[in-house]
């Protein structure tokens, strides 16, 4: 199991590194595909992944990425309202075939997976985006790794025993502090590569530490959904890791935060 998890993890990182390095359309298409798969995984929990709810959600998700590619963000809110109207129409005219939680999952999934994950691509499109996008994974996967190590060494107090019995407060503190350290080291490496490099070290440390804190919420939030519906993993796409939502649960949560933090602090 560990060997399988390690190999698939290395392959995943290699693919992401290559795609994010090239940016542009490769990053765009990978983000869109990952979003659609993650959306499918979420809807499958509610047994509507192949229903009109799912079809409407996938269609609107594709249209959302088309608008993003064409830089027509002004149409995103009307598109979201259109999805809500369509989902409520299914609820009303097909009643009582679908329950409200299934309708809500269709709308929630569009924002939670499609829109929030799209900020990975949007970070990459920023000036110096190739440098900034790394912060996303230092904050999430770096935090996960260091929190695990700190928890194993010092963990005594359970952070959320009902959701994730193995996570400890000590591990969380170690993960956040470790993410800040990674941000500090990374800033020293790339500082001269960034056009707007004023206070870049402080900004990178803050981004990684705040991102790590938010990633904990994302991780536990995804776990809460699994606990509610009594499933172990969202999928089996990534051997040893589960599905897209199992691996990207924290990335989804912090991608928008990092994007806006960069835009409003250094004008990226």
pLDDT digits (tens, 9 = 90+) for 52-91: 999 999 999 999 999 999 999 999 999 999 999 999 999 9
Give the pLDDT confidence of 91-129 residue by residue, as tens digits: 999 999 999 999 999 999 999 999 999 999 999 999 899
Provide the percentage of residues in the chain whose pLDDT is more than 70. Answer: 95
Residue 124: the pLDDT is 95
3-state SS assignment for residue 236: coil
User: pLDDT by residue (tens digit) across 220-230?
Assistant: 898 899 889 98
Q: Which of 166, 140, 177, 132 is nearest to 12 (CA)?
A: 140
**Residues contacting residue 82 through CB under 8 Å, at least 6 positions apart:** 60
Rounded alpha-carbon distances, angstroms, from residue 69 to 8, 14, 31, 207, 214: 30, 25, 12, 26, 27
Contacts of 235 (CB under 8 A, 6+ apart): 37, 41, 44, 242, 243, 244, 245, 246
Strand spans (E) along the chain:
158-160, 164-168
What was the pLDDT predicted at 148? 85
The pLDDT score that the predictor gives to residue 164 is 80
Contacts of 21 (CB under 8 A, 6+ apart): 130
| pLDDT band of 268, cuts 50, 70, 90 | low
**Is 116:253 a contact under the CB 8 Å cutoff?**
yes
Q: What is the mean pLDDT of the chain?
A: 90
What local confidence, expressed as pLDDT, does residue 5 receive?
A: 66
- The span from the CA of 185 to the CA of 204, in Å, is 9
Q: What is the separation of C-alpha 112 from the centre of its chain, rounded to a whole number of angstroms? A: 8
User: What pLDDT is attached to residue 22?
Assistant: 86
**Percent above pLDDT 90 for the chain:** 60
Least Cα distance to 243 among 14, 25, 57, 43 occurs for 43
Q: How many CB atoms lie within 10 A of CB 56?
A: 21
What number of CA atoms fall less than 13 Å from residue 257's CA on the CB side?
Answer: 24
Condensed to tens digits (0 to 9), the pLDDT of residues 167-211 reads 889 999 999 999 999 999 999 999 888 866 678 899 999 999 999
């Amino acid at each position: 199991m560990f060997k399988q998890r390690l190999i698939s993890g290395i392959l995943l990182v290699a693919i992401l590194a290559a795609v994010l390095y090239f940016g542009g359309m490769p990053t765009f298409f990978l983000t869109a595909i990952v979003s659609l798969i993650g959306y499918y995984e979420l809807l499958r929990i509610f047994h509507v992944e192949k229903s009109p709810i799912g079809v409407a959600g996938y269609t609107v998700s594709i249209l959302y990425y088309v608008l993003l590619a064409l830089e027509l963000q002004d149409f995103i809110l009307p598109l979201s309202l259109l999805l809500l109207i369509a989902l409520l129409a299914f609820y009303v005219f097909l009643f009582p075939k679908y329950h409200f939680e299934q309708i809500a999952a269709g709308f929630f999934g569009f924002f939670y997976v499609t829109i929030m994950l799209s900020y990975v691509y949007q970070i990459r499109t920023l000036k110096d985006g190739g440098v900034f996008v790394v912060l996303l994974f230092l904050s999430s996967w770096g935090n996960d790794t260091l929190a695990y190590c700190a928890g194993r060494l010092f963990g005594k107090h359970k952070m959320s025993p009902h959701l994730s019995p193995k996570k400890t407060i000590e591990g969380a503190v170690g993960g956040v502090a470790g993410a800040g350290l990674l941000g500090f080291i990374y800033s020293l490496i790339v500082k001269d590569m960034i056009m707007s490099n004023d206070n870049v070290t402080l900004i990178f440390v803050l981004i990684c530490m705040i991102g790590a804190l938010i990633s904990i919420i994302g991780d536990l939030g995804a776990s809460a959904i699994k606990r509610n519906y009594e499933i172990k993993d969202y999928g089996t796409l990534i051997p040893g890791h589960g599905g897209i939502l199992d691996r990207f649960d924290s990335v989804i949560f912090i991608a928008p935060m990092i994007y806006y933090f960069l835009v409003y602090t250094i004008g990226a």
